[in-house]
Amino acid sequence: MEDINAGFEHGAHESTPVWAVFGDLMSGLLGAFVLILVGVLGVQLELATTLEAEIQKRQQEERRREALEKALAGPLASGRVTLDNGKIGISGNVLFALNSDQLQPEGRQLLKTLAPPITAYLGASEQLLMVSGFTDDMPVRGNNRQFADNWELSAQRALTVTRTLIEEGVPSSALFAAAFGSQQPVADNANADGRARNRRVEMAPVPKGSTKDVTKGKDGKG
């Protein structure tokens, strides 16, 4: 009998380490689960914060766009200016005489009106304003000044508008000019009305980093 009891006690002593190992294993699993849970909650919190920041950013952009549209109410109502998703379009007939890069009085006054809201819009955002010149596809003609082609004419017009905006207070660091010649027409060049619509200047806000693609050549040099 004593031998049986001794054997039982001996077996009981031998089983204790198994339960201890099992307890340690469960503790380890619980700890790992807690770490995973904390990690998931951290990721969710980060995503929620990022989403909230993005929502606020979009709301700010919308308010700036609405303020710009409100400031341009007069020119928009008169049809001299269009505003599409922050991009301002101005008829070339308002700004320039045919085949000229010299601002007409009406065009200069219009740019003077546009300068303050443009300055406010750019000052509240991380963007630049790309001033783009476009022409119709007719050969360039004129007595006051001859241009090599529509590329040169569109470039000079874009530069004229850019310089005028700077004179009216828009920071020079917030602007750059681009020329598209007769490329990217918005209407058919087969008739006078379509050609008039294609002769235009557009001012579009672009992210600051995107200017590298415009100002650099294929070899990466300016």
pLDDT digit string, tens, across residues 168-181: 999 999 999 999 99
Query: What pLDDT, on a 0 to 100 scale, did the predictor assign at position 192?
Result: 93
Dihedral of CA atoms 22, 28, 30, 36 in degrees, nearest 10, equals: -150
CA angle 152, 222, 132 (to 5 degrees): 40
Confidence category of residue 48, pLDDT binned at 50, 70, 90: confident
134 with 90: CB under 8 angstroms?
A: no
202 with 87: CB under 8 angstroms?
A: yes
| Cα(155)–Cα(136) distance, integer angstroms | 13
* Cβ neighbours around 151 below 10 Å, total: 17
Nearest to 182 by CA among 155, 220, 164, 144: 155
Tokens 């609405």 appear where? 66
Distance from the first to the final alpha carbon of the chain: 100
Tokens of 217: 């050549």
0.75 exceeded by the pTM? no
Query: What pLDDT, on a 0 to 100 scale, did the predictor assign at position 17?
Result: 63
pLDDT digit string, tens, across residues 65-117: 777 777 778 788 888 888 887 789 998 889 999 889 999 999 999 999 889 88
Domain 72-215: which CATH number of 3.90.1010.10, 3.30.1330.60, 3.40.50.10490, 1.10.287.130 = 3.30.1330.60
